[in-house]
Amino acid sequence: MSTPHDYLPRDPAWRTPAFAPFYKTTVHRAPRAPLLSLRNTLSEITGPVFGHDDIGPLDNDLIRNYAQDGEPVGERIILHGRVLDENARPVPGALIEIWQANAAGRYRHRNDRYLAPLDPNFGGCGRTLADDEGRYAFRTIKPGPYPWGNDSNSWRPAHVHVSVFGRAFAQRLITQLYFEGDPLIPRCPIVRTLPDPAGVELLTARLDMNAAIPFDCLAYRFDIVLRGRRATPFENRPEGT
């Protein structure tokens, strides 16, 4: 059997740095020693495989998956896009999990004490699998901005947390999706941890009128790129293979 190819190494100039003192919690939670770099082994090029048995019929519909006696309040939106790798190939079967605050910026979490109210019909959690072309879609409510204890007047832009499993544990990714045109984006210390402004653009979902449903909901498009595999024309070959 030929050796499977490694995943492309992460670009140090593109990677989000661990230490970003203006995001204060990183100060005591960032490792100081450099990471130990290694070639992928079987432990990293494998990872959990999820199937349709893991996903319930309402899991990607946050408008209905926590509804008690009606629908949640807020801007109804579709969030959709594709999961691709760095070689621009789709990643079928990728698991996408999302979580978010409600329209008022309140999270359904025991530790969130913000004074804005919970919505009795909104949980804020969803998951889905990418199809054979890497496409995924959620239906939800656009989250509200949210104040947090960083600086004395820090507010998160409207955002949805996005967690993705590709094919390998080496591709594991958690990120956040922001919404086009939000003036809080450039003011946010968490956004500002990104070293390259082009990265902020990649995390900004675009209004997608073509995917909106007239008289029902708007749509935003958010593509996700996971690490790709190295495909070198000449490969070092261990002896005897």
Write the CB contacts of 75 (distance below 8 Å, at least 6 apart in sequence).
103, 141, 142, 218
In the residue annotation, 23 being an active-site residue is answered as no
Minimum Å distance from CB 41 to another protein? 6
Q: Which long-range contacts (CB under 8 A, 24 or more apart) does 153-161 make?
A: 154/188, 154/189, 155/184, 155/187, 155/188, 156/105, 156/184, 156/188, 156/190, 157/182, 157/184, 157/185, 157/188, 157/191, 158/182, 158/184, 159/100, 160/79, 160/98, 160/99, 160/100, 161/98, 161/99, 161/100
Minimum Å distance from CB 214 to another protein? 29
Residues 67-126 that bind another protein (CB under 8 A): 84-88, 95, 97-99, 107-112, 123-126
In the residue annotation, 66 being an active-site residue is answered as no
Q: Which is nearer to another protein, 69 or 215 (CB)?
A: 69
Residues 36-65 that bind another protein (CB under 8 A): 36-50, 54-56, 58-59, 65
In the residue annotation, 146 being an active-site residue is answered as yes
**24: number of CA atoms within 13 Å, CB side?**
6
Q: Which of 156, 167, 227, 229 is catalytic?
A: 156
In the residue annotation, 161 being an active-site residue is answered as yes
Structure tokens that stand for 92 in this block: 């079928």
Near another protein by CB under 8 A: residue from 152, 175, 209, 235: 175
Contact call for residue 209 and another protein (CB under 8 A): no
Give the total of residues touching another protein (CB under 8 A). Answer: 90
Taking CB under 8 A as the binding criterion, the range among 70-78, 132-140, 194-202, 211-219 that sits at the site for another protein is 194-202
Minimum Å distance from CB 189 to another protein? 10
Near another protein by CB under 8 A: residue from 134, 154, 228, 229: 228
Q: Tell me whether residue 50 is exposed, middle or buried, using C-beta atoms within 10 angstroms of its C-beta: 0 to 12, 13 to 18, 19 or more.
A: middle
Minimum Å distance from CB 212 to another protein? 24
Measuring CA to CA, which residue among 227, 201, 211, 196 is closest to residue 84? 227
Q: Which of 82, 159, 167, 227 is catalytic?
A: 159
